[in-house]
Amino acid sequence: MGIEDGLWTRSRGAAYAEITRVAMELFLDQGFARTTIDQIAEAAGISRRSFFRYFGTKEDVVLGDLAVQGELVRDALEAIPLTVPPWEALQEALWKVDGLVGDDETMLKIATMMYETPSLRARSIEKHLAWQELLVPNIRRRLGGDPHAADGASAEVAADALVASAIACLDAAGAVWARNDGSPDLRTLYRRAVDSVRT
């Protein structure tokens, strides 16, 4: 990457972060549905057209980082020894990334907005499906077995189901956490969700 490319990338990253910051302030102040793209563009000092250079939809402003977080969870999972069982490895990887997301008060406001807004919920589920594709290969290795063997399909569906369940537990815990104003804490709710599925 040349100097000009590097400067362009940093400039684009700074603009992306600033638009996101301005938009999130508007969302949390007046609500997601009542905030328009035109309002975001005006507050950020850009044109409506420029907004769409950075974001495909208004929902992507809130959930754009979910795709990046999925990659971070995958990387954290890959760093955990294969001797650690799947459920425990997934939980460890999720919390390593959770610590990078932000303070609980802000996250609670964002979670409440997300779970109360149908379009955000739908987009969140879509992005979590992408997480599943990223995490399943590692869990297949943890479960062992040859994917090309006669029973390979059984091992494959087991890994898919386990990762889908772990993500569903995280989503369920998040919904309850938001409805109850952050109490008990998200990790406790996640562990309870997992325990109910594994029992």
Query: What architecture is domain 1-56?
Result: Orthogonal Bundle (1.10)
pLDDT bucket at 66, cuts 50 / 70 / 90: confident
For the chain, the C-alpha Rg in angstroms (whole number) is 19
CB burial string 65-82: b at 16+ within 10 A, e below: ebeebbebbbebbeebee
pLDDT bucket at 86, cuts 50 / 70 / 90: very high
- Portions of the chain given CATH number 1.10.357.10: 59-198
- Portions of the chain given CATH number 1.10.10.60: 1-56
Whether residue 99 has pLDDT greater than 70: no
Residue 96 has what pLDDT? 85
Alpha-carbon gap, residue 78 to 67, rounded angstroms: 17
Alpha-carbon gap, residue 92 to 94, rounded angstroms: 6
Whether residue 37 has pLDDT greater than 70: yes
Alpha-carbon gap, residue 45 to 37, rounded angstroms: 12
Between 67 and 198, the more confident residue is 198
**CATH topology (fold) of 59-198:** Tetracycline Repressor; domain 2 (1.10.357)
Residue 145 has what pLDDT? 60
pLDDT bucket at 151, cuts 50 / 70 / 90: low
